[in-house]
Amino acid sequence: MPRLIKQGQIVEDSWLAADPDATGPGAQQILSLDQWLAIDEKSGRAVMLEPGQAPAPLFEHLAQIPMIAVNFPVFTDGRGFSYARELRERGFQGELRACGSFIRDQLTYLQRCGFDAFQMADESQLNEALASLDDFSEYYQAAIDQPQPLFRRRA
Amino acid sequence: MYVYDQYDQTIVDQRVVQFRDQTERFLAGKLSEAEFLPLRLQNGLYVQRLAPMLRIAVPYGLLNSTQVRKLAEITRVFDKGYAHVSTRQNIQLNWPRLEDVPDILAELASVQMHAIQTSGNCIRNTTTDQYAGVATDELEDPRPYCEIIRQWSTLHPEFAFLPRKFKIAVCGTSQDRAAIRAHDIGVELVANESGNIGCRILAGGGLGRTPVIGSVVCEWLDRKHLLTYLEAILRVYNQNGRRDNKYKARIKILVKAMGIEAFRDAVEQEWAPIKDGPTTLTDEEIARAKSFFTEPPYAALDHAASQSALAAKTSDNPIFGNWVKRNTVEHRVDGYRIVNISLKATGFAPGDITDTQLELAADLADDFSFGEIRTTHQQNLVLADVQMDQLYPLWLRLQSAGLATPNLGYLTDMICCPGGDYCSLANAKSIPVAEAIQSRFDDLDYLYDLGPLELNISGCMNACGHHHIGHIGILGVDKKGQEFYQVCLGGSQSKDASIGKILGPSFGQEDMPDVIEKLLDTYVALREEDEIFLDTYRRVGIAPFKERVYAKAD
């Protein structure tokens, strides 16, 4: 079973990879945005956003969605960072998963933007990636992990 | 100036450790070239034609003497004994070794400096007026706001992988010396009808391949909203800016494509949920930022007496007098002047400074200007607070180091990127063109007669030399492997900002001094009274210049 980092632990994945071409995907399968938009019973279904698929259509269903994956086909395309923040700022409480080609050096930023699960293309990097979350102990800006900016916290 | 506390120091120190690890992994083959690329760029490290180039951040151009001495030491130990002042007020090293860069960054961190986000597709060093805090025409000191923006943008988690680089400039004067209209975001401190100071926000300005003057997004914004509003603009850009073509990826293209009205609506929509949130600035934070930019302990001086003493000295020594006239500027405080140190001596690459000159500059800052020194986007240095009666001893010491070239704002005080001699992006060399022009026009009386004239040279479309906004702009272009130079006229970086117009077909390198001479001759023949080059151009248009330059030889 594929492994990933979830809430600071390396765990096995309970979701099945998305298949945008599948007709009638199973309950444990991550849906593409089109598949998700097409189904009537959205409760309990996971959905994956690609770059260019802004999260606005999900906003009114956030309480029903257990997991949203954001794909990074190339690690230099940073749209997903904003998607994550927008989802969390609108109250999404479920799992927010980064997947695709992001690199371990981006993990801190991804986590700060609200991702709590990281599925890396190369699973052998999971341990090092987990360690990189400790690169910084302090930040200037408010973000999802620390809603108060440093200027409101300076001693 | 701003002083780090334990938080700032921790962030910078941890960044050094992180980059050391990234460099080691790259050198060990564990991080690919493509993966290392944005990581090193966000630490200011380019891989260039001959060696890596390291761009060191000088936040809004402010340095203290300790930092300048450290820079001198770094150029000596890790480089070839000189550095380059860039058009974004940063300091560049042209010859560091990749393996040494983590050590260089650690040295910088020891004096509260870094190279964070001096390159890459992220928010870059915020720039401002080189006369901030001492200018006579200033409404409000922009530096506290620059520092607030610096902290907010440093390692911002959401905006590190933007479609393209992102530059912010702030100004607080009626005369814009920070070229805010040529920036991705320009912030102008302005008073509203009731006299409260807020921010006018411009977006979508930029140079490069498609030069654009920025548009006003918000006419007056309460300054407490500055960061949330910037965040909203960046969010619109991060999600909607083009990523398919790097030449169309800057925010100026997005603003043009959407139209300023629709862009403003999108910003307001992104802003609504974060407005008044925790990132809203507090009065305490604005006061804290301001507390670092208070007045130094100026002496109480009699202005008239200082002036007459200086006048006596300058009439005794006309060479000194000329330098005072050309390179010093009126100061807000009685008995003081602002001193510009020109880094545009003929025979030296514009903006270059040696290790010993850096050390001298540090000493002069300590002896004459409260220990502070500034870099300018015109690639010069500034000692902001010099007593008039100290100008003469200061000048003597500058002169002995070759730093008293009295050409500020004249033709030979040109802006010039490192060009094809150093930069791997460049299509053509720029330094030899600058040097050839400087050599041709080395008669100071002629330069003064020409009056204020901005000549800007870029070695490629990326426009680091700001050629579009020079009164005369020169752009290096590549034609079938050969270097040519395109000339444009009529650009301006001031409040009346304009983009220069292309003169016509490009020229070979050896022709450039002649071309410039013909342009200047045309101007001299057509000018009325005290008209400067730009005004003559605006009055008569491009045609007479074109005719003269492209006229067939008899």
Residue of B nearest to A78 (CA): B161
Q: Tokens representing B106? A: 């650690």
Give the residue-averaged pLDDT of A96-114.
96
Element (H, E) at B549: helix B543-550
Residue B95 contacts residue B51 (beta carbons within 8 Å):
yes
Bridge partners, residue B202, by sequence: B186, B216
Q: What distances in angstroms separate CA B64 from CA B299, B324, B370, one per listed residue?
A: 20, 24, 9
- Residue A48 is part of a domain; what is its CATH number? 3.40.50
- How would DSSP label each residue in B416-449? E--GGGT-SS-SS--HHHHHHHHHHT--HHHHHH
What's the mean per-residue pLDDT of chain A?
A: 94
DSSP H helices in chain A: 33-38, 79-89, 107-112, 126-132
Give the residue-averaged pLDDT of B1-21.
96
What's the mean per-residue pLDDT of chain B?
A: 94
pLDDT at A155 over 80: no
Give the residue-averaged pLDDT of B395-409.
95
pLDDT tens, position by position, A126-136:
999 999 998 99
State the pLDDT at residue B427: 87
Residue B453 contacts residue B378 (beta carbons within 8 Å):
no
Q: How far away is chain A from the Cα of B466, in angstroms, using its nearest Cα? A: 27
Which residue in the set B14, B157, B279 is minimally distant from A109, CB to CB?
Answer: B157
CB-defined contacts A:B, below 8 A = 105
Chain A residues touching residue B159 (CB < 8 angstroms): 78, 81
**What percentage of chain A has pLDDT greater than the value 70?**
100
> Which amino acid, one-letter code, is at B345?
A
Q: Tokens representing B218? A: 């918000």
Residue B69 contacts residue B363 (beta carbons within 8 Å):
no
Q: Three-state SS for B522?
A: helix
Q: Tokens representing A21? A: 């071409």
Cα separation of B327 and B346, whole Å? 16
Q: Tokens representing B266? A: 């999108």
pLDDT tens, position by position, B162-186:
999 999 999 999 888 898 999 999 9
The DSSP symbol for B82 reads E
Give the residue-averaged pLDDT of B535-540.
96
pLDDT tens, position by position, B429-458:
999 999 999 999 989 999 999 999 999 999
Q: What angle do CA B141, B385, B493 make, to 5 degrees?
A: 55
State the pLDDT at residue B49: 64
- Alpha-carbon Rg for chain A, nearest whole angstrom, is 16
**What percentage of chain B has pLDDT greater than the value 70?**
99
Domain boundaries, chain B: 6-109, 135-290, 303-400, 415-550
pLDDT at B50 over 80: no
Q: Indicate yes or no: pTM above 0.90.
A: yes
- How would DSSP label each residue in A6-62? ETTEEEE--SBPP-TT-SS--TTBPEEHHHHHH-S--TT--EEEPTT--SGGGGGGG
B42 in reach of chain A (CB within 8 A)? no
Same fold, B6-109 and B135-290: no
B506 in reach of chain A (CB within 8 A)? no
**CATH number for the B303-400 domain, one of 3.90.480.20, 3.30.70.380, 3.60.21.10, 2.60.120.380?**
3.90.480.20
Hey, what CATH topology would domain B415-550 get?
A: Sulfite Reductase Hemoprotein; domain 1 (3.30.413)
Superfamily of domain B135-290: Sulfite Reductase Hemoprotein, domain 1 (3.30.413.10)
Burial of B179 (C-beta count, 10 Å sphere; 0-12/13-18/19+): buried
pLDDT confidence tier of residue A26, bands split at 50, 70 and 90: confident
Which residue in the set B7, B17, B238 is minimally distant from A82, CB to CB?
Answer: B238
Give the residue-averaged pLDDT of A104-119.
96
Domain at B6-109: CATH code: 3.90.480.20
pLDDT at B77 over 70: yes
pLDDT tens, position by position, B258-316:
999 999 999 999 999 999 999 999 999 999 999 999 999 999 999 999 999 999 999 99
Element (H, E) at A6: strand A3-6
Bridge partners, residue A93, by sequence: none
Flag the least confident range among B18-22, B172-176, B217-221: B172-176
DSSP H helices in A27-150: 33-38, 79-89, 107-112, 126-132
Contact between A140 and B288 using a beta-carbon 8 Å cutoff: no
pLDDT at B554 over 60: no
Pairing of strands B336-341, B328-330: antiparallel
- ipTM confidence score: 0.96
Flag the least confident range among A66-70, B44-48, B480-484: B44-48
CB neighbour burial string for B471-491, b if at least 16 within 10 angstroms, e if fewer: bbbbbbeeeeeebbbbbbbbb
Contact between B285 and A151 using a beta-carbon 8 Å cutoff: yes
State the pLDDT at residue A21: 84
Cα separation of B150 and A34, whole Å? 40
Residues, chain A? 155
Non-local CB neighbours of B30 within 8 Å, separated by 6+ positions? none
Q: Three-state SS for B218?
A: strand
Contact between B285 and A81 using a beta-carbon 8 Å cutoff: no
What number of helices (H) and strands (E) belong to chain B? 18, 21
Give the residue-averaged pLDDT of B215-226.
97
pLDDT confidence tier of residue B553, bands split at 50, 70 and 90: low
Cα A68 from chain centroid (whole Å):
6
The DSSP symbol for B295 reads P
Q: Tokens representing B250? A: 């800057």
State the pLDDT at residue B420: 85
Contact between A151 and B281 using a beta-carbon 8 Å cutoff: yes
Q: How far away is chain B from the Cα of A92, in angstroms, using its nearest Cα? A: 15
B238 in reach of chain A (CB within 8 A)? yes
pLDDT tens, position by position, B81-116:
999 999 889 999 988 999 999 999 999 999 999 999
Residue A3 contacts residue A123 (beta carbons within 8 Å):
yes
Contact between B158 and A149 using a beta-carbon 8 Å cutoff: no
Which residue in the set B14, B161, B288 is minimally distant from A136, CB to CB?
Answer: B14
> Which amino acid, one-letter code, is at B58?
V
Q: What sign does the CA torsion over B343, B346, B349, B354 have?
A: negative
Residue of B nearest to A83 (CA): B239
Residues of chain A contacting B, Cβ within 8 Å: 51, 54, 75-79, 81-83, 85-86, 89-90, 103, 105-106, 108-110, 112-113, 135-143, 147-152, 154
State the pLDDT at residue B424: 78
Chain B residues touching residue A112 (CB < 8 angstroms): 157-158
- What is the domain extent for residue A21? 3-152
Closest by Cα among B284, B293, B386 to B332:
B386
Question: Would you give the end-to-end CA distance of chain A in angstroms?
Answer: 46
Q: What distances in angstroms separate CA B500 from CA B211, B250, B423, B463, one per listed residue?
A: 9, 20, 24, 12
Number of independent structural domains in chain A: 1
pLDDT tens, position by position, B320-333:
999 999 999 999 99
Residue of B nearest to A52 (CA): B239
User: Which value, to the nearest 10 degrees, does the dihedral of the CA atoms of residues A71, A74, A75, A79 take?
Assistant: -60
State the pLDDT at residue B256: 96
Q: What distances in angstroms separate CA A82 from CA A94, A145, B171, one per listed residue?
A: 17, 14, 29
pLDDT at B419 over 90: no
Cα separation of A105 and A119, whole Å? 14
Which residue in the set B151, B161, B243 is minimally distant from A140, CB to CB?
Answer: B151
pLDDT confidence tier of residue A13, bands split at 50, 70 and 90: very high
Compute φ and ψ for B526, nearest 5 degrees: -100, -15
Non-local CB neighbours of A143 within 8 Å, separated by 6+ positions? A85, A112, A113, A114, B157, B158
Q: Residue with structure tokens 């001193």? A: B339
| Mutation site, B2, B3, B5, B7, interface A, largest A CB count within 10 A | B7
Contact between A54 and B281 using a beta-carbon 8 Å cutoff: no
